[in-house]
Amino acid sequence: MKDGTLVVPRFGGGTAGDVVYARPDGTNGVVPNLDPLRRRIGLTVSEEGTLYDTFFVAMNGIKLGSVAELDLAGAEAEIITGLKNPSACSPRRATSSSPSRRRATCSGRRSPRRISSS
């Protein structure tokens, strides 16, 4: 992140998925309040410092993935849903027609449903 904090997703195998961080001052921890069933597989940060993670859950052989906006205090809000095994995520700049909207683009094996946030 801009402040030098290292942030890493942990896959967790469907029982212990989380996100860990290490700050430049030597403090570290686990982001609280995250759903451990989410198999976390990707992480990116936008130029503005917004953190996004990708994950999927597997139930009865069906995998359903999403992209969420994440903060280290433990808030996680899905912004893209309906992905099947999302594999990559990168921030996308706001358009001139809607400069306040944040978006991310991700690859997956199905058409994602985008959820814009302002």
And the tokens for 73?
A: 């205090």
Query: 37 with 76: CB under 8 angstroms?
Result: no
Q: Cβ neighbours of residue 40 under 8 Å, at least 6 residues apart?
A: 9, 10, 11, 12, 17, 18, 19, 53, 54, 55
pTM beyond 0.75: the answer is no
The rounded mean pLDDT for the chain is 81
Chain segment 90-99, per-residue pLDDT in tens: 555 544 444 4
**How much is the average pLDDT of 7-13?**
94
pLDDT tens, position by position, 21-32:
999 999 999 999
Which residues, other chains included, contact 21 with Cβ-Cβ below 8 Å and sequence gap of 6+? 5, 6, 7, 8, 28, 29, 30, 31, 72
Domains of the chain, residue spans: 6-114
